[in-house]
A and B are shown apart, each in its own frame.
Chain A
Protein backbone atom coordinates (compact mmCIF):
# COMPACT_ATOMS: atom_id res chain seq x y z
CA UNK A 1 0.00 0.00 0.00
CA UNK A 2 1.11 3.48 -0.84
CA UNK A 3 2.25 5.80 1.93
CA UNK A 4 0.00 8.86 2.00
CA UNK A 5 1.54 10.66 4.92
CA UNK A 6 4.94 10.39 6.51
CA UNK A 7 6.33 12.19 9.55
CA UNK A 8 10.07 11.96 10.14
CA UNK A 9 11.38 12.82 13.60
CA UNK A 10 8.98 15.68 14.09
CA UNK A 11 9.67 18.01 16.98
CA UNK A 12 7.78 21.13 17.96
CA UNK A 13 9.00 23.34 20.77
CA UNK A 14 6.93 26.31 21.95
CA UNK A 15 8.76 29.16 23.61
CA UNK A 16 6.80 31.43 25.87
CA UNK A 17 9.24 33.85 27.42
CA UNK A 18 12.01 31.72 28.85
CA UNK A 19 9.92 28.60 29.28
CA UNK A 20 10.21 25.98 26.54
CA UNK A 21 7.54 23.35 26.02
CA UNK A 22 8.34 20.38 23.81
CA UNK A 23 4.78 19.66 22.63
CA UNK A 24 5.88 17.07 20.08
CA UNK A 25 9.16 15.19 20.33
CA UNK A 26 10.79 13.16 17.58
CA UNK A 27 7.58 11.65 16.31
CA UNK A 28 7.94 9.38 13.29
CA UNK A 29 4.85 7.96 11.63
CA UNK A 30 3.71 6.41 8.36
CA UNK A 31 0.08 6.44 7.23
CA UNK A 32 -0.82 4.15 4.35
CA UNK A 33 -3.53 4.80 1.82
CA UNK A 34 -6.99 3.82 3.09
CA UNK A 35 -5.88 3.54 6.72
CA UNK A 36 -8.01 4.83 9.57
CA UNK A 37 -5.85 5.81 12.54
CA UNK A 38 -7.00 6.97 15.94
CA UNK A 39 -4.72 8.95 18.24
CA UNK A 40 -5.35 8.94 21.96
CA UNK A 41 -3.57 10.35 24.94
CA UNK A 42 -4.01 12.58 27.95
CA UNK A 43 -4.79 16.25 27.63
CA UNK A 44 -1.75 18.36 26.75
CA UNK A 45 0.28 15.45 25.39
CA UNK A 46 0.64 17.14 22.00
CA UNK A 47 -2.06 15.50 19.88
CA UNK A 48 -3.43 18.72 18.38
CA UNK A 49 0.04 20.11 17.88
CA UNK A 50 0.98 16.96 15.94
CA UNK A 51 -2.16 17.20 13.82
CA UNK A 52 -1.40 20.84 12.98
CA UNK A 53 2.10 19.88 11.91
CA UNK A 54 0.86 17.00 9.76
CA UNK A 55 -1.71 19.27 8.09
CA UNK A 56 0.70 22.10 7.40
CA UNK A 57 -1.09 24.56 9.68
CA UNK A 58 2.20 25.10 11.51
CA UNK A 59 5.87 24.40 10.97
CA UNK A 60 7.97 21.97 13.04
CA UNK A 61 11.01 23.05 15.00
CA UNK A 62 12.76 20.13 13.34
CA UNK A 63 11.83 17.08 11.28
CA UNK A 64 9.78 16.71 8.11
CA UNK A 65 6.26 15.91 6.97
CA UNK A 66 5.47 14.47 3.55
CA UNK A 67 1.91 14.34 2.26
CA UNK A 68 1.49 12.32 -0.91
CA UNK A 69 5.17 12.87 -1.58
CA UNK A 70 5.08 16.63 -1.08
CA UNK A 71 6.98 18.37 1.70
CA UNK A 72 4.48 20.17 3.96
CA UNK A 73 6.95 21.16 6.63
CA UNK A 74 8.49 23.92 4.53
CA UNK A 75 8.55 27.31 6.17
CA UNK A 76 6.71 28.96 3.33
CA UNK A 77 3.11 29.79 4.13
CA UNK A 78 2.12 29.81 0.46
CA UNK A 79 3.49 26.30 -0.09
CA UNK A 80 1.74 24.88 2.98
CA UNK A 81 -1.50 26.62 2.07
CA UNK A 82 -1.39 25.16 -1.40
CA UNK A 83 -0.88 21.61 -0.11
CA UNK A 84 -3.72 22.08 2.38
CA UNK A 85 -5.93 23.20 -0.46
CA UNK A 86 -5.18 20.20 -2.67
CA UNK A 87 -4.49 17.34 -0.26
CA UNK A 88 -5.89 17.86 3.21
CA UNK A 89 -9.32 18.03 4.83
CA UNK A 90 -9.73 19.19 8.42
CA UNK A 91 -12.47 18.53 10.94
CA UNK A 92 -12.31 20.22 14.35
CA UNK A 93 -14.01 19.91 17.69
CA UNK A 94 -15.62 23.32 17.19
CA UNK A 95 -17.28 22.77 13.88
CA UNK A 96 -15.67 25.80 12.25
CA UNK A 97 -18.39 26.44 9.71
CA UNK A 98 -18.68 29.88 8.15
CA UNK A 99 -21.57 31.44 10.09
CA UNK A 100 -22.81 33.76 7.34
CA UNK A 101 -23.11 31.05 4.70
CA UNK A 102 -25.81 28.40 4.28
CA UNK A 103 -25.05 24.68 4.39
CA UNK A 104 -24.78 24.73 0.64
CA UNK A 105 -22.63 27.88 0.72
CA UNK A 106 -20.20 26.23 3.14
CA UNK A 107 -19.72 23.32 0.75
CA UNK A 108 -19.49 25.54 -2.30
CA UNK A 109 -16.83 27.81 -0.86
CA UNK A 110 -14.66 24.75 -0.17
CA UNK A 111 -15.08 23.77 -3.82
CA UNK A 112 -14.36 27.29 -4.93
CA UNK A 113 -11.13 27.49 -2.94
CA UNK A 114 -10.07 24.02 -4.04
CA UNK A 115 -10.65 24.62 -7.73
CA UNK A 116 -9.55 28.23 -7.67
CA UNK A 117 -12.96 29.60 -8.42
CA UNK A 118 -15.34 27.04 -9.88
CA UNK A 119 -18.30 25.49 -8.05
CA UNK A 120 -20.16 22.31 -8.77
CA UNK A 121 -23.71 22.57 -7.49
CA UNK A 122 -24.67 19.04 -8.48
CA UNK A 123 -21.92 17.45 -6.43
CA UNK A 124 -22.91 19.65 -3.49
CA UNK A 125 -26.50 18.45 -3.70
CA UNK A 126 -25.40 14.82 -3.88
CA UNK A 127 -23.35 15.18 -0.74
CA UNK A 128 -26.13 17.00 1.12
CA UNK A 129 -28.54 14.19 0.18
CA UNK A 130 -26.06 11.58 1.32
CA UNK A 131 -25.88 13.27 4.73
CA UNK A 132 -29.61 13.57 5.06
CA UNK A 133 -29.23 17.34 5.01
CA UNK A 134 -31.10 17.89 1.75
CA UNK A 135 -33.90 19.72 3.58
CA UNK A 136 -31.42 22.01 5.29
CA UNK A 137 -29.61 23.19 2.18
CA UNK A 138 -30.37 26.83 2.82
CA UNK A 139 -30.03 26.77 6.60
CA UNK A 140 -27.29 28.73 8.32
CA UNK A 141 -25.01 26.76 10.69
CA UNK A 142 -26.71 28.42 13.67
CA UNK A 143 -29.97 26.87 12.50
CA UNK A 144 -28.51 23.35 12.52
CA UNK A 145 -28.05 21.00 15.48
CA UNK A 146 -24.56 20.20 16.68
CA UNK A 147 -24.66 16.82 14.99
CA UNK A 148 -25.85 18.32 11.73
CA UNK A 149 -23.15 20.97 11.89
CA UNK A 150 -20.42 18.39 12.38
CA UNK A 151 -21.78 16.24 9.55
CA UNK A 152 -21.73 19.31 7.32
CA UNK A 153 -18.18 20.10 8.44
CA UNK A 154 -17.10 16.54 7.55
CA UNK A 155 -18.81 16.80 4.19
CA UNK A 156 -16.96 20.04 3.55
CA UNK A 157 -13.65 18.44 4.52
CA UNK A 158 -14.04 15.56 2.05
CA UNK A 159 -15.93 17.27 -0.78
CA UNK A 160 -12.71 17.77 -2.71
CA UNK A 161 -11.49 14.20 -2.14
CA UNK A 162 -8.43 15.04 0.02
CA UNK A 163 -5.56 12.59 0.28
CA UNK A 164 -6.07 12.53 4.03
CA UNK A 165 -8.75 13.65 6.48
CA UNK A 166 -7.38 15.04 9.75
CA UNK A 167 -9.95 15.17 12.55
CA UNK A 168 -9.31 16.69 15.98
CA UNK A 169 -11.86 15.35 18.48
CA UNK A 170 -14.75 15.47 16.02
CA UNK A 171 -17.22 14.20 18.64
CA UNK A 172 -15.85 16.28 21.52
CA UNK A 173 -18.77 18.70 21.42
CA UNK A 174 -21.52 16.15 20.75
CA UNK A 175 -23.82 14.05 22.90
CA UNK A 176 -23.67 10.24 22.68
CA UNK A 177 -26.38 9.90 20.07
CA UNK A 178 -24.92 12.50 17.74
CA UNK A 179 -21.43 11.14 18.34
CA UNK A 180 -22.61 7.78 17.09
CA UNK A 181 -24.05 9.30 13.91
CA UNK A 182 -20.89 11.26 13.19
CA UNK A 183 -18.62 8.29 13.91
CA UNK A 184 -20.74 6.10 11.60
CA UNK A 185 -20.30 8.67 8.89
CA UNK A 186 -16.53 8.78 9.37
CA UNK A 187 -16.35 5.01 9.34
CA UNK A 188 -18.46 4.91 6.19
CA UNK A 189 -16.12 7.35 4.47
CA UNK A 190 -13.23 5.06 5.30
CA UNK A 191 -14.94 1.83 4.28
CA UNK A 192 -16.92 2.85 1.24
CA UNK A 193 -14.64 5.50 -0.24
CA UNK A 194 -11.31 4.27 1.21
CA UNK A 195 -10.79 7.72 2.66
CA UNK A 196 -7.51 7.85 4.61
CA UNK A 197 -8.28 9.22 8.07
CA UNK A 198 -6.32 10.30 11.11
CA UNK A 199 -8.54 11.09 14.07
CA UNK A 200 -7.76 12.38 17.56
CA UNK A 201 -10.19 11.26 20.23
CA UNK A 202 -10.59 10.89 23.97
CA UNK A 203 -13.33 8.37 23.53
CA UNK A 204 -12.21 4.67 23.49
CA UNK A 205 -15.41 3.73 21.67
CA UNK A 206 -14.62 6.18 18.93
CA UNK A 207 -11.09 4.87 18.75
CA UNK A 208 -12.40 1.34 18.38
CA UNK A 209 -13.72 1.95 14.88
CA UNK A 210 -10.22 2.77 13.63
CA UNK A 211 -7.89 0.11 12.33
CA UNK A 212 -4.81 1.41 14.05
CA UNK A 213 -4.51 3.05 17.45
CA UNK A 214 -1.64 5.35 18.41
CA UNK A 215 -1.10 6.43 21.99
CA UNK A 216 0.79 9.58 22.87
CA UNK A 217 2.25 10.81 26.12
CA UNK A 218 4.39 13.92 26.71
CA UNK A 219 4.80 14.62 23.03
CA UNK A 220 5.88 11.10 22.10
CA UNK A 221 4.21 8.08 20.57
CA UNK A 222 4.28 5.44 23.29
CA UNK A 223 2.47 2.56 21.60
CA UNK A 224 0.83 1.48 18.37
CA UNK A 225 -1.65 -1.38 17.88
CA UNK A 226 -3.19 -2.91 14.80
CA UNK A 227 -6.74 -4.25 14.58
CA UNK A 228 -5.99 -7.65 16.10
CA UNK A 229 -4.34 -6.31 19.21
CA UNK A 230 -7.35 -4.18 19.99
CA UNK A 231 -8.85 -5.87 23.01
CA UNK A 232 -5.56 -6.30 24.75
CA UNK A 233 -4.99 -2.58 24.42
CA UNK A 234 -8.29 -1.83 26.05
CA UNK A 235 -7.58 -4.31 28.79
CA UNK A 236 -4.28 -2.65 29.46
CA UNK A 237 -5.87 0.76 29.61
CA UNK A 238 -8.44 -0.34 32.13
CA UNK A 239 -5.85 -1.90 34.40
Chain B
Protein backbone atom coordinates (compact mmCIF):
# COMPACT_ATOMS: atom_id res chain seq x y z
CA UNK B 1 0.00 0.00 0.00
CA UNK B 2 2.72 2.42 0.96
CA UNK B 3 4.68 1.26 -2.06
CA UNK B 4 1.76 2.08 -4.30
CA UNK B 5 1.37 5.54 -2.78
CA UNK B 6 5.08 6.15 -3.21
CA UNK B 7 5.03 5.03 -6.83
CA UNK B 8 1.99 7.22 -7.42
CA UNK B 9 3.80 10.22 -5.95
CA UNK B 10 6.74 9.58 -8.28
CA UNK B 11 4.16 9.27 -11.05
CA UNK B 12 2.80 12.72 -10.24
CA UNK B 13 6.34 14.05 -10.31
CA UNK B 14 6.87 12.54 -13.75
CA UNK B 15 3.50 13.71 -15.07
CA UNK B 16 4.11 17.24 -13.83
CA UNK B 17 7.36 17.49 -15.76
CA UNK B 18 6.04 15.80 -18.88
CA UNK B 19 2.85 17.85 -19.06
CA UNK B 20 4.74 21.08 -18.63
CA UNK B 21 7.25 20.15 -21.28
CA UNK B 22 4.63 18.78 -23.62
CA UNK B 23 2.51 21.92 -23.36
CA UNK B 24 5.31 24.41 -23.73
CA UNK B 25 7.04 22.50 -26.46
CA UNK B 26 3.75 21.94 -28.28
CA UNK B 27 3.08 25.63 -28.13
CA UNK B 28 6.51 26.45 -29.50
CA UNK B 29 6.21 23.93 -32.31
CA UNK B 30 2.78 25.14 -33.26
CA UNK B 31 4.01 28.71 -33.17
CA UNK B 32 6.90 27.98 -35.47
CA UNK B 33 4.61 26.08 -37.85
CA UNK B 34 2.35 29.08 -38.07
CA UNK B 35 5.29 31.32 -38.81
CA UNK B 36 6.46 29.17 -41.67
CA UNK B 37 2.83 28.94 -42.83
CA UNK B 38 2.89 32.62 -43.70
CA UNK B 39 4.40 31.74 -47.02
CA UNK B 40 7.29 34.21 -47.08
CA UNK B 41 10.66 33.17 -48.47
CA UNK B 42 12.80 35.57 -46.50
CA UNK B 43 12.43 37.40 -43.20
CA UNK B 44 14.18 40.65 -42.43
CA UNK B 45 14.56 41.84 -38.86
CA UNK B 46 15.68 45.25 -37.63
CA UNK B 47 19.09 45.59 -35.96
CA UNK B 48 19.27 44.62 -32.27
CA UNK B 49 16.16 42.53 -32.51
CA UNK B 50 15.53 39.25 -30.79
CA UNK B 51 14.39 35.93 -32.15
CA UNK B 52 12.11 35.71 -29.15
CA UNK B 53 9.54 37.73 -31.06
CA UNK B 54 7.44 38.53 -28.01
CA UNK B 55 10.41 40.15 -26.32
CA UNK B 56 11.89 41.86 -29.37
CA UNK B 57 12.08 45.62 -29.09
CA UNK B 58 13.88 46.52 -32.31
CA UNK B 59 11.96 48.36 -35.02
CA UNK B 60 12.65 49.66 -38.48
CA UNK B 61 11.04 52.17 -40.77
CA UNK B 62 8.38 50.87 -43.13
CA UNK B 63 10.21 52.80 -45.85
CA UNK B 64 12.61 49.89 -45.99
CA UNK B 65 9.77 47.99 -47.66
CA UNK B 66 10.05 50.30 -50.67
CA UNK B 67 13.79 49.80 -50.80
CA UNK B 68 13.38 46.02 -50.62
CA UNK B 69 10.65 45.92 -53.25
CA UNK B 70 13.00 47.56 -55.75
CA UNK B 71 15.52 44.74 -55.39
CA UNK B 72 15.56 42.53 -58.45
CA UNK B 73 13.55 39.28 -58.25
CA UNK B 74 11.54 40.37 -55.16
CA UNK B 75 7.88 39.68 -55.78
CA UNK B 76 6.34 41.11 -52.63
CA UNK B 77 7.25 42.73 -49.30
CA UNK B 78 5.01 43.05 -46.27
CA UNK B 79 5.90 45.05 -43.16
CA UNK B 80 4.55 43.53 -39.96
CA UNK B 81 4.46 44.94 -36.46
CA UNK B 82 4.43 42.28 -33.75
CA UNK B 83 3.28 43.08 -30.27
CA UNK B 84 2.68 40.96 -27.21
CA UNK B 85 -0.88 41.38 -26.03
CA UNK B 86 -1.50 40.79 -22.35
CA UNK B 87 -5.12 41.82 -21.96
CA UNK B 88 -7.42 38.83 -21.98
CA UNK B 89 -4.82 36.08 -22.35
CA UNK B 90 -1.27 36.09 -23.59
CA UNK B 91 -0.51 36.10 -27.29
CA UNK B 92 1.27 37.77 -30.15
CA UNK B 93 -0.82 40.19 -32.19
CA UNK B 94 0.34 40.97 -35.69
CA UNK B 95 -0.22 44.41 -37.14
CA UNK B 96 -0.40 43.97 -40.92
CA UNK B 97 -1.06 45.90 -44.05
CA UNK B 98 -3.70 43.60 -45.49
CA UNK B 99 -2.89 44.27 -49.13
CA UNK B 100 0.82 43.51 -48.96
CA UNK B 101 0.32 40.71 -46.44
CA UNK B 102 -2.15 39.00 -48.79
CA UNK B 103 0.42 39.14 -51.57
CA UNK B 104 2.83 37.20 -49.36
CA UNK B 105 0.35 34.65 -48.07
CA UNK B 106 -1.73 34.28 -51.26
CA UNK B 107 -4.61 35.64 -49.20
CA UNK B 108 -6.47 34.51 -46.10
CA UNK B 109 -9.11 31.85 -46.46
CA UNK B 110 -12.18 33.49 -44.94
CA UNK B 111 -14.51 31.11 -43.16
CA UNK B 112 -16.73 34.01 -42.18
CA UNK B 113 -16.70 37.76 -42.88
CA UNK B 114 -13.92 39.57 -44.70
CA UNK B 115 -10.87 41.78 -44.27
CA UNK B 116 -10.47 45.03 -42.30
CA UNK B 117 -13.16 47.60 -43.04
CA UNK B 118 -11.96 50.14 -40.51
CA UNK B 119 -9.05 50.83 -38.14
CA UNK B 120 -10.73 49.04 -35.22
CA UNK B 121 -11.32 45.77 -37.02
CA UNK B 122 -9.60 42.54 -36.12
CA UNK B 123 -9.14 39.32 -38.07
CA UNK B 124 -8.92 36.16 -35.99
CA UNK B 125 -8.35 32.54 -36.90
CA UNK B 126 -10.88 29.77 -36.38
CA UNK B 127 -9.10 28.29 -33.36
CA UNK B 128 -9.02 31.64 -31.57
CA UNK B 129 -12.68 32.18 -32.41
CA UNK B 130 -13.69 28.76 -31.20
CA UNK B 131 -11.62 28.94 -28.03
CA UNK B 132 -13.27 32.22 -27.00
CA UNK B 133 -16.61 31.65 -28.66
CA UNK B 134 -16.29 34.73 -30.82
CA UNK B 135 -18.52 35.58 -33.77
CA UNK B 136 -18.46 38.27 -36.39
CA UNK B 137 -18.97 41.72 -34.93
CA UNK B 138 -18.06 40.66 -31.39
CA UNK B 139 -15.84 42.95 -29.40
CA UNK B 140 -12.27 41.88 -28.60
CA UNK B 141 -10.08 43.81 -26.20
CA UNK B 142 -6.47 43.95 -27.33
CA UNK B 143 -3.83 46.17 -25.80
CA UNK B 144 -6.52 47.99 -23.86
CA UNK B 145 -8.33 48.86 -27.03
CA UNK B 146 -11.65 47.57 -28.32
CA UNK B 147 -11.70 45.84 -31.70
CA UNK B 148 -14.50 44.21 -33.63
CA UNK B 149 -14.24 40.89 -35.39
CA UNK B 150 -14.41 41.57 -39.14
CA UNK B 151 -13.29 38.18 -40.37
CA UNK B 152 -12.62 34.64 -39.19
CA UNK B 153 -9.94 32.89 -41.22
CA UNK B 154 -8.43 29.46 -41.45
CA UNK B 155 -5.51 29.13 -39.05
CA UNK B 156 -1.88 28.71 -39.95
CA UNK B 157 -0.78 32.07 -41.35
CA UNK B 158 1.57 33.63 -38.84
CA UNK B 159 -0.67 34.68 -35.98
CA UNK B 160 -4.07 33.98 -34.58
CA UNK B 161 -4.92 37.68 -34.28
CA UNK B 162 -4.33 40.44 -36.85
CA UNK B 163 -5.07 44.16 -36.66
CA UNK B 164 -4.27 46.94 -39.15
CA UNK B 165 -0.62 47.99 -38.86
CA UNK B 166 -1.62 51.66 -38.69
CA UNK B 167 -3.72 51.09 -35.59
CA UNK B 168 -0.93 49.03 -34.08
CA UNK B 169 1.64 51.77 -34.67
CA UNK B 170 -0.67 54.30 -33.07
CA UNK B 171 -1.38 52.11 -30.05
CA UNK B 172 2.28 51.38 -29.48
CA UNK B 173 3.33 54.93 -30.29
CA UNK B 174 5.74 54.08 -33.06
CA UNK B 175 4.39 55.61 -36.27
CA UNK B 176 5.61 54.13 -39.54
CA UNK B 177 7.64 51.41 -37.89
CA UNK B 178 7.72 47.65 -38.43
CA UNK B 179 9.33 44.79 -36.51
CA UNK B 180 9.54 42.32 -39.41
CA UNK B 181 9.59 42.42 -43.18
CA UNK B 182 8.19 39.37 -44.92
CA UNK B 183 9.60 38.93 -48.42
CA UNK B 184 8.76 36.58 -51.30
CA UNK B 185 10.78 36.10 -54.46
CA UNK B 186 9.63 35.23 -57.95
CA UNK B 187 11.28 31.84 -57.88
CA UNK B 188 12.55 29.76 -54.93
CA UNK B 189 15.90 29.70 -56.76
CA UNK B 190 16.08 33.49 -56.40
CA UNK B 191 16.25 33.30 -52.60
CA UNK B 192 20.06 33.13 -52.25
CA UNK B 193 20.58 36.05 -54.60
CA UNK B 194 17.98 38.24 -52.87
CA UNK B 195 19.33 37.28 -49.47
CA UNK B 196 22.83 38.28 -50.54
CA UNK B 197 21.59 41.56 -51.91
CA UNK B 198 19.69 42.34 -48.69
CA UNK B 199 22.73 41.55 -46.61
CA UNK B 200 24.81 43.86 -48.77
CA UNK B 201 22.43 46.80 -48.63
CA UNK B 202 21.21 46.46 -45.04
CA UNK B 203 24.36 45.53 -43.23
CA UNK B 204 23.23 45.33 -39.58
CA UNK B 205 19.83 43.82 -40.40
CA UNK B 206 19.50 40.09 -39.74
CA UNK B 207 18.25 38.24 -42.83
CA UNK B 208 16.83 34.71 -42.62
CA UNK B 209 15.36 32.28 -45.05
CA UNK B 210 11.97 31.23 -43.76
CA UNK B 211 12.67 27.65 -42.69
CA UNK B 212 15.70 28.57 -40.66
CA UNK B 213 13.85 31.55 -39.21
CA UNK B 214 11.01 29.39 -37.93
CA UNK B 215 13.42 26.84 -36.51
CA UNK B 216 15.53 29.51 -34.87
CA UNK B 217 12.50 31.22 -33.36
CA UNK B 218 11.45 27.91 -31.85
CA UNK B 219 14.94 27.31 -30.55
CA UNK B 220 15.25 30.84 -29.18
CA UNK B 221 11.92 30.63 -27.39
CA UNK B 222 12.96 27.37 -25.82
CA UNK B 223 16.14 28.94 -24.57
CA UNK B 224 14.41 32.17 -23.60
CA UNK B 225 15.61 32.95 -20.07
CA UNK B 226 12.34 33.12 -18.11
CA UNK B 227 10.81 30.08 -19.85
CA UNK B 228 13.92 28.03 -19.42
CA UNK B 229 14.27 29.09 -15.82
CA UNK B 230 10.66 28.20 -15.12
CA UNK B 231 10.99 24.77 -16.73
CA UNK B 232 14.24 24.02 -14.93
CA UNK B 233 12.78 25.08 -11.61
CA UNK B 234 9.75 22.85 -12.01
CA UNK B 235 11.94 19.92 -13.06
CA UNK B 236 14.27 20.50 -10.14
CA UNK B 237 11.52 20.78 -7.55
CA UNK B 238 9.67 17.76 -8.94
CA UNK B 239 12.87 15.70 -8.79
CA UNK B 240 13.56 16.90 -5.27
CA UNK B 241 10.06 15.91 -4.17
CA UNK B 242 10.55 12.49 -5.76
CA UNK B 243 13.81 12.15 -3.88
CA UNK B 244 12.24 12.96 -0.51
CA UNK B 245 9.26 10.70 -1.06
CA UNK B 246 11.48 7.74 -1.87
CA UNK B 247 13.78 8.63 0.99
CA UNK B 248 10.93 8.68 3.52
CA UNK B 249 9.32 5.58 2.13
CA UNK B 250 12.56 3.57 2.12
CA UNK B 251 13.56 4.91 5.52
CA UNK B 252 10.29 3.64 6.97
CA UNK B 253 10.54 0.37 5.05
CA UNK B 254 14.06 -0.37 6.28
CA UNK B 255 13.09 0.45 9.86
CA UNK B 256 10.01 -1.77 9.69
CA UNK B 257 12.07 -4.60 8.30
CA UNK B 258 14.92 -4.36 10.80
CA UNK B 259 14.20 -7.89 12.02
CA UNK B 260 14.37 -9.27 8.48
CA UNK B 261 17.66 -7.47 7.98
CA UNK B 262 18.93 -9.19 11.13
CA UNK B 263 17.88 -12.57 9.71
CA UNK B 264 19.65 -11.90 6.42
CA UNK B 265 22.77 -10.87 8.33
CA UNK B 266 22.69 -14.04 10.41
CA UNK B 267 22.55 -15.99 7.15
CA UNK B 268 25.72 -14.22 6.11
CA UNK B 269 24.32 -11.58 3.75
CA UNK B 270 26.92 -8.83 3.44
CA UNK B 271 26.33 -5.08 3.34
CA UNK B 272 26.36 -5.02 -0.45
CA UNK B 273 23.64 -7.67 -0.64
CA UNK B 274 21.36 -5.84 1.78
CA UNK B 275 21.82 -2.35 0.40
CA UNK B 276 21.33 -3.67 -3.12
CA UNK B 277 18.10 -5.32 -2.00
CA UNK B 278 16.65 -1.96 -0.98
CA UNK B 279 18.16 -0.05 -3.89
CA UNK B 280 16.55 -2.51 -6.29
CA UNK B 281 13.25 -2.05 -4.53
CA UNK B 282 13.51 1.73 -4.77
CA UNK B 283 14.39 1.52 -8.46
CA UNK B 284 11.35 -0.68 -9.00
CA UNK B 285 9.24 1.94 -7.27
CA UNK B 286 10.83 4.63 -9.43
CA UNK B 287 10.21 2.60 -12.58
CA UNK B 288 6.63 1.85 -11.61
CA UNK B 289 6.17 5.51 -10.76
CA UNK B 290 7.48 6.47 -14.17
CA UNK B 291 4.98 4.17 -15.86
CA UNK B 292 2.17 5.56 -13.71
CA UNK B 293 3.43 9.01 -14.64
CA UNK B 294 3.17 8.20 -18.33
CA UNK B 295 -0.43 7.16 -17.74
CA UNK B 296 -1.13 10.34 -15.81
CA UNK B 297 0.50 12.42 -18.54
CA UNK B 298 -1.66 10.80 -21.16
CA UNK B 299 -4.76 11.35 -19.03
CA UNK B 300 -3.75 14.91 -18.25
CA UNK B 301 -3.28 15.58 -21.93
CA UNK B 302 -6.77 14.35 -22.75
CA UNK B 303 -8.09 16.49 -19.94
CA UNK B 304 -6.28 19.61 -21.19
CA UNK B 305 -7.38 18.95 -24.74
CA UNK B 306 -10.94 18.79 -23.54
CA UNK B 307 -10.51 21.87 -21.34
CA UNK B 308 -8.58 23.97 -23.85
CA UNK B 309 -8.77 22.58 -27.36
CA UNK B 310 -6.53 25.34 -28.74
CA UNK B 311 -3.53 24.07 -26.79
CA UNK B 312 -1.08 21.95 -28.66
CA UNK B 313 0.95 19.20 -27.10
CA UNK B 314 4.23 17.86 -28.21
CA UNK B 315 6.46 15.57 -26.20
CA UNK B 316 10.00 15.19 -27.47
CA UNK B 317 11.35 11.67 -26.99
CA UNK B 318 14.41 13.16 -25.39
CA UNK B 319 12.34 14.56 -22.54
CA UNK B 320 10.57 11.26 -22.08
CA UNK B 321 13.89 9.49 -21.62
CA UNK B 322 15.28 12.26 -19.46
CA UNK B 323 12.26 12.17 -17.15
CA UNK B 324 12.56 8.40 -16.89
CA UNK B 325 16.17 8.87 -15.93
CA UNK B 326 15.21 11.52 -13.36
CA UNK B 327 12.61 9.24 -11.78
CA UNK B 328 15.13 6.40 -11.43
CA UNK B 329 17.90 8.75 -10.37
CA UNK B 330 15.86 10.41 -7.63
CA UNK B 331 14.65 6.97 -6.51
CA UNK B 332 18.19 5.58 -6.33
CA UNK B 333 19.52 8.66 -4.59
CA UNK B 334 16.61 8.73 -2.13
CA UNK B 335 17.15 5.08 -1.23
CA UNK B 336 20.91 5.36 -0.86
CA UNK B 337 21.09 6.48 2.76
CA UNK B 338 18.28 4.22 4.06
CA UNK B 339 19.83 1.25 2.22
CA UNK B 340 23.30 1.89 3.61
CA UNK B 341 21.91 2.43 7.09
CA UNK B 342 20.03 -0.85 6.83
CA UNK B 343 23.14 -2.68 5.68
CA UNK B 344 25.21 -1.39 8.58
CA UNK B 345 22.84 -2.58 11.32
CA UNK B 346 24.25 -4.59 14.15
CA UNK B 347 22.95 -8.13 13.56
CA UNK B 348 22.10 -8.88 17.19
CA UNK B 349 20.20 -5.63 17.69
CA UNK B 350 18.40 -6.19 14.42
CA UNK B 351 17.46 -9.74 15.39
CA UNK B 352 16.10 -8.53 18.72
CA UNK B 353 13.95 -5.88 17.01
CA UNK B 354 10.22 -6.46 17.44
Contact = CB atoms under 8 A, between A and B. Distances in A.
Interface stretch (A106-114, A182-190, A223-231): A106-114
B263 A96 contact: yes
B266 interface: yes
B277 to A, nearest CB: 10
Given A92-B351, A96-B351, A85 B268 contact: yes
Given A57-B347, A58-B348, A85 B263 contact: no
Contact of B266 (A82, A86, A96, A99): A96
A114 B348 contact: no
Contacts of A100: 260
B270 A82 contact: yes
Contacts of B262: 96
A83 B351 CA distance: 18
B307 interface: no
Given A98-B260, A99-B260, A113-B273, A85 B348 contact: no
B242 to A, nearest CB: 26
A156 B346 CA distance: 21
A220 interface: no
A110 B263 CA distance: 10
A113 B267 contact: yes
Contacts of A113: 264, 267-269, 273
B271 interface: yes
A97 B266 CA distance: 11
Contact of A78 (B259, B267, B271): B271
B268 A86 contact: yes
Contacts of A90: 266-267
Interface in B330-354: 344, 346-348, 351
B157 interface: no
Given A98-B260, A99-B260, A113-B273, A81 B268 contact: yes
B265 interface: yes
Contacts of B347: 57-58
B266 A84 contact: yes
A109 B266 CA distance: 12
A109 to B, nearest CB: 7
A57 B265 CA distance: 9
A110 B267 contact: yes
Contact of A85 (B260, B269, B344): B269
Q: A-side binding surface: helix, strand, loop or mixed?
A: helix
Interface in B151-178: none
Interface in A31-48: none
Contacts of B348: 52, 57-58
Interface string A51-81: 0100101100000000000000000011001
A92 to B, nearest CB: 7
A220 B260 CA distance: 32
Given A96-B263, A99-B260, A85 B351 contact: no
Given A57-B348, A92-B351, A98 B269 contact: no
Interface in B77-122: none
Contacts of A114: 267-268
Contact of A109 (B267, B270, B271, B344): B267
Contacts of A109: 264, 267
Nearest to B266: A90
A113 B274 CA distance: 10
A84 B268 contact: yes
A141 to B, nearest CB: 11
Contacts of B269: 81, 85, 113
Contacts of B260: 98-100
Interface of B: 259-260, 262-271, 273, 344, 346-348, 351
Closest 10 A/B residue pairs (Cβ): A85-B268, A84-B268, A113-B269, A90-B266, A81-B270, A57-B347, A96-B263, A113-B267, A57-B348, A110-B267
Given A58-B346, A84-B265, 19 more contacts: A57-B266, A57-B347, A57-B348, A57-B351, A77-B344, A78-B270, A81-B268, A81-B269, A84-B266, A90-B266, A92-B266, A96-B262, A96-B351, A97-B263, A98-B260, A98-B263, A109-B267, A114-B267, A156-B267
6 contacts: A57-B265, A57-B351, A58-B348, A88-B268, A92-B266, A109-B267
